Chains A and B, each alone.
Chain A
Amino acid sequence: GEDVEQSLFLSVREGDSSVINCTYTDSSSTYLYWYKQEPGAGLQLLTYIFSNMDMKQDQRLTVLLNKKDKHLSLRIADTQTGDSAIYFCAWDTGRRALTFGSGTRLQVQP
C-alpha cells in the first residue's frame, strides 16, 4: 500500500520562506495535493500538481515534484502568522480517493 512520510514540525520566522517536504514509496497517482488544516477546522485545498509537471507556482506557493526520487515539496514565500497550521500532502488513488501524509505542523514566529 501507500506510505507517505512528512516531517512532524517546522518553525520559521515571519517573512521567511517555509519548505515542507513529503516523500512516498510508490504511487500511480495522477494528481498530488497540498492541504492546510487549522485548529478545529476542516481541510482546505491549497494547491495541486499534475504528475507530469515538475513545478507549479500559485502566488506565494510553489510546488516541486521529483518523480524519480518520489519527493514533493511545498514552498511558502514570505510566510505569515496566518500560515501557521498543519499541512498535509495527499495522493489521488486509482479510485480518486486520497491518501494523506501524516502532516507537518508549521509554526510561524512573529
Chain B
Amino acid sequence: EAGVAQSPRYKIIEKRQSVAFWCNPISGHATLYWYQQILGQGPKLLIQFQNNGVVDDSQLPKDRFSAERLKGVDSTLKIQPAKLEDSAVYLCASRPRGAGETQYFGPGTRLLVL
C-alpha cells in the first residue's frame, strides 16, 4: 500500500512570495490533516478535513494560509504572502475510518522563507 505522498520535498522562497504544497493521502482515507512543525518543536495542527469538508481550522492563520481538498482526495495548502516565521516542515497525514486507527504521515515539505 502506498503511503502519504507530498510534494515538493523542499522549497525556498523569499518573504511576501506565495507557495503551495500538495498532498495525496492513502487511498480510502477519509480524514486528512495538515500540520506545521517548526524546528525544535512538535507538529501543530493547522487544518483537518473529513472527506472534502473542514472539521477544524481554528489554528490556521486564515489571513495568509488557505487549504482545500477538492473531491475529498488530494489536498493543497497555500501560503500567501509568506513570512519568515512560516519556515517549517509542513506535514500531511491521513487516517482511515474506525476507532483506534492512528494517522499516517507523509515525508513533509521543508519550507525556508528568506
Q: Mask for A34-55, Cβ within 8 A of B = 1, else 0?
A: 0000000111110010100000
A42 touches B106 (CB 8 A): yes
A107 smallest CB distance to B (angstroms): 16
When A88-B42, A102-B42 are in contact, do A97 and B33 touch as well, CB less than 8 Å? Answer: yes
Stretch at the interface among B14-22, B70-78, B79-87, B95-103: B95-103
- In the complex, whether A95 has a CB less than 8 A from a CB of chain B is yes
Contact count band on A: 20 to 34
Residues of chain B touching chain A, judged by Cβ–Cβ distance below 8 Å, are: 4, 31, 33, 35, 40-45, 48, 55-56, 91, 93, 95, 99-100, 102-108
Residues of chain A touching chain B, judged by Cβ–Cβ distance below 8 Å, are: 4, 30-31, 33, 41-45, 48, 50, 88, 90, 95-103
